[in-house]
Each structure stands twice: as C-alpha cells, then as structure tokens.
Structure 1
C-alpha cells in the first residue's frame, strides 16, 4: 500500500462521511474481506503468533476423526467412484491434511476424491497448496462452483466469520444498529426507522426493550447454496462452530487480536471479527431444501463418540514422551468448560444417511 492509498480505517470513515452510517454487516465485510486490506486478505492469523487457535492446530486427532467421518459417509453413499470434498475456510490445510491421511487408507477413497478448498487468503492458499499437493486441490471462486458429483462439505469455524446485522428492540419497534461517526470516532448508533415486530422472527417477538437480535443473511445464503447442491447431488454438510441451537436474542459480536478481546471498531482489518452462529436458522434453510438436520451436538460429544479417547491412547502408547501433551489436547478439545462445550457440531445430510458421532 503506497503512502497515497488510504488505509482501511480511513476508507471506512470516508464512506460513512459520504453516505451515512453503515450496517454492521457492511462493516464486517469491509474489515474481513476488503480486496487489499481486509483481515482475511493479509497474513496468516492462526497459531500462537497470530490472533487465535483452531482445533486442527491443537491436535492431529481432530482432523483424523473428521477423516473417519468423511469415509463413513462415503461408504454409506455406496462408495461413489467420483465425489467432491469441499472445505470452507481451510486455514493452513492442517485439518484436511490430517483427515485425508486417515481417509485415503480406505480403498477407493483417494481415487474417487475431488478436493476443493474455499479460501480467500493468498498466503494460506500457498500453504494449502504445499500441504495438500498430493491430492490435487482446486480452489473454486465460489462455494457452488462445483461439479454434479456427490458432495461432502466440512466447515470448521467458518460460519462465525460471516457478516451479521444487529437489531435492537425499542419502544416503537426494532431499530438496526449501525456504525457511524461521533466526534470523528467510529461508534455504534441506531437507525431512526423502526421495524415492526411482525417483521421479526417469531422467536424474538415480545423481547424486552434493549434486547439485541443478530441475523446472518450471508450465513443463510451460504447454507442455501450448499443445501441445494447436496439436495441435488447427495451428501452432507458438517459445520463446527460456537453458537446456539435456536434463534434467540443476545449480543455476540466480538473482536480478537493477539488472543485477547478487542474493540471491534478500533482497528478495522487488524482484528478478527466474529459472532455466534444461529444453528436454528441454518437448520431451517437446510430443512427447506429437503435435507435431514441431525440433532446438534457439542464438540465434546461428537469427538468422544468418534473415538478421540481411544485414538489418544494409541498415540500416547506410540509416543510415550508426548502422552502429557496428548492428554492436554484432549482436555482442550473436549472439556465442557473449554472448546468441547463451547463449540457445537451441526450436520445436514441427504435423507437416509446417518452421520457418525451424531446419530443419536
């Protein structure tokens, strides 16, 4: 970026001055995916030197169990000779590397596999290309730019990063929360135009004054596109994220920078922005497309059902010097007070498929 090019904060402020306050969804989209200065267009955000840690970076066991999950579904589908495995937001490629190391041990799986990775970060794409080169990955420009083969989708911490809109209950209706400028600084405010109660989802009607409702139209659009594809071609969508099972009120927008919470308005493009996922809303979209939505599980329930305890025992026996670290990883991934309780596992699949770890 040259000295003459405005910074992302300057660009956002210029847009607000020219056109007025913007929605939180527009603000998030600019912060995260601006073509040149967006958070996900810049350096690798993962790991101890980044801003956050994801489950695949904590232990190989996470990806390995996802690999077993994919093989099981492929076998249930009759072991098609050609199928697409799509990962949304693959990060460094760690999850898929671990998953395919396990999955390709199943006879025929590797030969049938068409690996697709939906990624916007060029640095991460380069890492994925190196890590996953043996599987000849392809990077589609959009999530539904795919063939007509059966489709298995995996998204770990993807939906939480999609833009949301916020609405606040007022005396005369709901008002959208916007990002504007006050005394030259970015600040939250409310649109003066009320939205009637009847226009809101039934689940939030009757909310108390001041309560906040969040909706991700982008998340619903992604789920709609994927569900239509799976409904037509057969397969499943697996999404692992933090969120809540049914549509409700509650403010969850947050910013993370260097593994600490930050002001979401302070440094656009320099911090990760996210919000909890409304799994109930995603389920409605998937159901409408004819998919079966299986009961939401915690990450702890899912990984335990898939055999993380047994896998940890095998790894510890083979690497006794790492037994302590392996046990700590299991605790972090499955502890109810840690990721195991915070993260939920969502699966929508073709009728008749029984996703392993989620069949109860």
Structure 2
C-alpha cells in the first residue's frame, strides 16, 4: 500500500494530521519516506547544497568552529555535532580546515544527527578517512549534557516539521491535512490544540504562521 493510501486510511480512522506530522511521514516513513528510502543529493540528484558547490564553504565553517572553541577556553573535551549532515561533505571540509587549530581535533567527539539509514551509509563512506570517527544519533535529545557542544546545521530548517496556523476572522485556526469527499488529501482548518497561538508580529487575516 502506498504512503498516500496509508495516510488516507489513517486520517479516515483518526482524523486530520497536523502539517508537522504529515511532513514527518513524507520524509521519514520507513517504507516510503524520502529521506528514509531514496535521498538524492548533488548535481545529478534532486537538489544541491552549498558544501557541494565549493569546499571553501565547509572550510570556513571549520575555521569558525575552531575560533568558537578557543573562545570557550579550548576545553579538552567537547562534542562537534552536525544536524542533517547530507552526504558528509561539509563535515569532511570542516575537519580539514580545523586541523590548523592545535588541540581541536584531539578534544572533539564527532556526533552526526541523522535519522536516515541510507544517508548514514553515505556519510560513513565519505568520512571513512577523516581524522575523527563519527557516531550517529537520531535526535538532539540523545546527546548527554556532560560536555560543551559546538553545533552546525546547514539547510535543515527547510525540512523541519512545523505546525501551521492561519489567522481567520474568528481567530487562529490550525492548518491540517484531511480528506475530500472523494478521499483525496487536502488542506483544511481546525481549532488549534495545545494552547493559544501567540506572536508579536502583526498578522493579517489569511496569513499563515509556522
């Protein structure tokens, strides 16, 4: 059964999904999710990111990381964390440049936050000869709080699961994914759950807040 059919069945049984839940399913469903099954990065893939355009991007971030480490007093133990490491290119370039900071690599524990099994395999191949051996976790919550963290995340915000709210004449409503009478997926509105929506921005009727 396709992901679309499974989502439609779930919605029919339990009600509309939040946009956040819908995005999580589309990206990370073990059977059909994009990142879980067929991520295609690079010029021949579905999209290209800055680290794949020039190694200078990752190298500059590596030098910046080393400077931040020095600013923290050069702790003798810290975690170097990347969220959404793609194919590992950014981290490889970062580590190459960070060699210039004496003691940085000796103090670093490399952690990659990546839920996609196919991408983990790509990252492992890319970083096989890097000076640090990575370990993988699925969420930030999996990191213990026993050492400082230097974190880098490139082009991650565009695929984070965000809830959406719409300003209506009667107040805020939550945008959800439901079904048409014909059983097709569609956007709709419902009363917000989990408390009131608060924002300091001026939002006009019909505008969407994430």
Partner in structure 2 of residue 57 of structure 1: 52
Runs of 5+ unmatched residues, structure 2: none
Aligned match of 2:156 in 155, 158, 181? 158
Q: Check conservation: 2:19, 2:164, Cα contact below 8 A.
A: yes
Q: Secondary structure at the match of 1:62?
A: helix
Matched, 1:80 2:75: yes
Deviation string 1:270-320 (CA, Å, 9 cap, x unpaired) is: xxxxxxxxxxxxxxxxxxxxxxxxxxxxxxxxxxxxxxxxxxxxxxxxxxx
**Residue pairs, 1:175-194, within 5 angstroms:** 175-182=173-180, 183-191=182-190, 193=191
Task: Summarize the Cα distance change of 1:46–1:190 in structure 2 as closer, same or farther, 3 Å threshold.
Answer: same
Deviation string 1:251-271 (CA, Å, 9 cap, x unpaired) is: xxxxxxxxxxxxxxxxxxxxx
**Residue pairs, 1:125-204, within 5 angstroms:** 125-133=120-128, 134=130, 135-147=132-144, 148-182=146-180, 183-191=182-190, 193=191, 199-204=196-201
Partner in structure 2 of residue 314 of structure 1: none
Once residues 23 and 68 of structure 2 are traced to their aligned partners in structure 1, the CA distance between those partners, rounded to angstroms, is 35
Runs of 5+ unmatched residues, structure 1: 1-5, 215-360
Q: Check conservation: 1:172, 1:194, Cα contact below 8 A.
A: no
Higher relative contact order (CA 8 A, sep 6+): 2
Query: In the comparison of the two structures, how many residue pairs are matched?
Result: 205
Q: Check conservation: 1:86, 1:154, Cα contact below 8 A.
A: yes
Give RMSD over aligned pairs.
Answer: 1.9
* TM-score, scaled relative to structure 2: 0.90
Task: Summarize the Cα distance change of 1:57–1:172 in structure 2 as closer, same or farther, 3 Å threshold.
Answer: same
Partner in structure 1 of residue 207 of structure 2: 211
Report deviation, 1:45: 2.5
Partner in structure 1 of residue 65 of structure 2: 70
Task: Summarize the Cα distance change of 1:165–1:145 in structure 2 as closer, same or farther, 3 Å threshold.
Answer: closer
Report deviation, 1:143: 1.5
Report deviation, 1:204: 4.1
Q: Check conservation: 1:173, 1:194, Cα contact below 8 A.
A: no
Q: Check conservation: 1:70, 1:152, Cα contact below 8 A.
A: yes
Task: Summarize the Cα distance change of 1:66–1:187 in structure 2 as closer, same or farther, 3 Å threshold.
Answer: same
Q: Secondary structure at the match of 1:139?
A: strand
Q: Secondary structure at the match of 1:203?
A: coil
Query: Which runs of structure 1 show a deviation greater than 4 angstroms over 4 or more consecutive aligned residues?
Result: none
Deviation string 1:116-156 (CA, Å, 9 cap, x unpaired) is: 00111222211211222331111124323334122100011
Partner in structure 1 of residue 17 of structure 2: 22
Partner in structure 2 of residue 337 of structure 1: none
Once residues 150 and 103 of structure 2 are traced to their aligned partners in structure 1, the CA distance between those partners, rounded to angstroms, is 16
* TM-score, scaled relative to structure 1: 0.54
Q: Secondary structure at the match of 1:176?
A: strand
Q: Check conservation: 1:89, 1:117, Cα contact below 8 A.
A: yes
Once residues 7 and 141 of structure 2 are traced to their aligned partners in structure 1, the CA distance between those partners, rounded to angstroms, is 30
Q: Secondary structure at the match of 1:53?
A: coil
Once residues 145 and 190 of structure 1 are traced to their aligned partners in structure 2, the CA distance between those partners, rounded to angstroms, is 34
Once residues 123 and 85 of structure 1 are traced to their aligned partners in structure 2, the CA distance between those partners, rounded to angstroms, is 22
